[in-house]
Chains A and B, each alone.
Chain A
Amino acid sequence: MLALDGSGRRTCCLARGRLDVAESSCGVAQWAFGRSRYRQRRRGLGFSDFPLLAKLTRWGNDAHMGLLSGLANQIVLALPAVTLLCLLLWGYRMWWLRGRSSGGFGELAAGDAWRQVPGKVLAPIIVVIVLAGYFAPLLEISLVAFVLVDIAAGVRKRKLTGGKQ
């Protein structure tokens, strides 16, 4: 996007990386951040005119993109990302080690494991998931689908083994 524009000023505006770039008359900025926001800006409506939820949305977007408070924001974003990567790698390592212990290449964990989690741990997790699901339902669909499949697999396994885990 930067390469499309030869003007130093416009490039500088874009390099700031914030949605404020719509303040400039840069055509690329209009294209990138929406003509309505640009027009709104031209009419004199600024961020301070936004209602609270619009401000929160803007701050949320900036925080999500690591633009809210510079390096600190980016570090805070990087931590869960790195943690998630570690969890993925450790998960595959566990899968591989289980397989090696049973003479194979890899082996899935026993299903229904969440049934062994104590209620006092599981209950707050369920409440947080339901709360998050209210605000971001699309995020929950994959989790709900996974849990349903796990429950179905567990029920089937218990039926086959006569109720014994």
Chain B
Amino acid sequence: MIESAELAWILTIVFAVTGIVCAIRCVQPEVGGQPQYIADRVSSGCHFLMSAGMLAMVWPWGMEISLTAQILVFSAAALWFVAALVMRSRVRSCAAHGVVMGRAHQLHHGLLMVAMVWMLALMPMAMDAMMAHESSGSGTSEHAGHHEMGSGMHAGSGLPWWITGINMIFVLYCVALGVWWLSRALDAMRDKGKTPTSVTVAALRASGVDTACHSVMSMGMGVMLFVMY
């Protein structure tokens, strides 16, 4: 849950847009002139669920969704991308940009799913830490104001150092990956970079949209991890 209404709405719009893009990819018969296989649809479905999960996490009603069910779903999604990484010759995820990015692409998706599971698994601990932090000597109006002005519910001070450390590694990874994906998206949409000659302009454009979507989702996850813990 994000306490800052402004940030909550920004993240809601971000994850709504990425969710819509992934949902469209799920039902499209072909993307950028290339056919969509079942594997592509499953990958897009995983990303749709990820967007929906993070959107729900932003608001208080999202706390009512079963954590165990979410952890199971996103663990399965992580395993899916690991399988896609291992069996890439048979399982081609995201046909349009799969040809551009290859196995690293699957690895990053898998790691982001692991980050999602990590975020969900830590949520009860972070909530407890935040409650303890707020009730222990920070009940003044000044500190209440501090939380209102802040981005979210920083509970980092109440968590063990190694959890905060791992969390910061995930945050840096998400942001760095988001920047890298954004650079690929910009190059793809402007027909720059090293691309196979067989890849059509339409495929590059579709690749650009997909990669931009993943970039935004990755950076959104980085922001969520940063402000929630």
Tell me the A residues contacting B by CB distance below 8 Å: 50-54, 115, 118-120, 122-124, 126-127, 134
Contact = CB atoms under 8 A, between A and B. Distances in A.
Contacts of A127: 175, 178-179, 182, 219
B149 interface: yes
Given A119-B192, A124-B179, A127-B178, A53 B185 contact: no
Top 6 closest A-B pairs, CB basis?
A119-B183, A119-B186, A123-B183, A119-B187, A123-B182, A51-B142
Interface of B is mostly: helix
A117 to B, nearest CB: 9
B9 interface: no
A51 B179 contact: no
Nearest to B146: A51
A124 B143 CA distance: 34
B183 A120 contact: yes
A3 to B, nearest CB: 38
B179 A118 contact: no
A119 B149 contact: no
A50 B187 CA distance: 48
Nearest to A126: B182
Q: Which of B150, B179, B187, B193 counts the most A-chain CB atoms under 10 A from its CB?
A: B179
Contacts of B143: 51
Nearest to B208: A119
Interface of A is mostly: helix
Contacts of B182: 119, 123, 126-127
22 contacts: A50-B142, A51-B146, A53-B145, A53-B149, A53-B150, A115-B190, A118-B192, A119-B182, A119-B186, A119-B192, A119-B193, A120-B183, A122-B186, A123-B179, A123-B180, A123-B183, A124-B183, A127-B175, A127-B178, A127-B179, A127-B182, A134-B7
Q: Which of B143, B145, B190 counts the most A-chain CB atoms under 10 A from its CB?
A: B190
Contacts of B142: 50-51, 54
Nearest to B189: A119
Interface of B: 7, 10, 142-143, 145-146, 149-150, 175, 178-180, 182-187, 190, 192-193, 219
B179 to A, nearest CB: 5
A134 B6 CA distance: 10
A46 B47 CA distance: 51
A124 B190 CA distance: 17
A140 B184 CA distance: 24
Nearest to A117: B186
B186 A52 contact: no
Contacts of B178: 127
Given A54-B142, A115-B190, A124-B183, 20 more contacts: A51-B142, A53-B146, A53-B150, A118-B183, A118-B187, A118-B192, A119-B183, A119-B184, A119-B185, A119-B186, A119-B187, A119-B190, A119-B192, A120-B183, A122-B183, A123-B183, A123-B186, A127-B178, A127-B219, A134-B7
B201 to A, nearest CB: 11
Nearest to A122: B186
Contacts of B150: 53
Contacts of B190: 115, 119
Nearest to B175: A127
Nearest to B150: A53
Q: Which of A54, A120, A124 counts the most B-chain CB atoms under 10 A from its CB?
A: A120
A54 B149 CA distance: 11
A134 B8 CA distance: 13
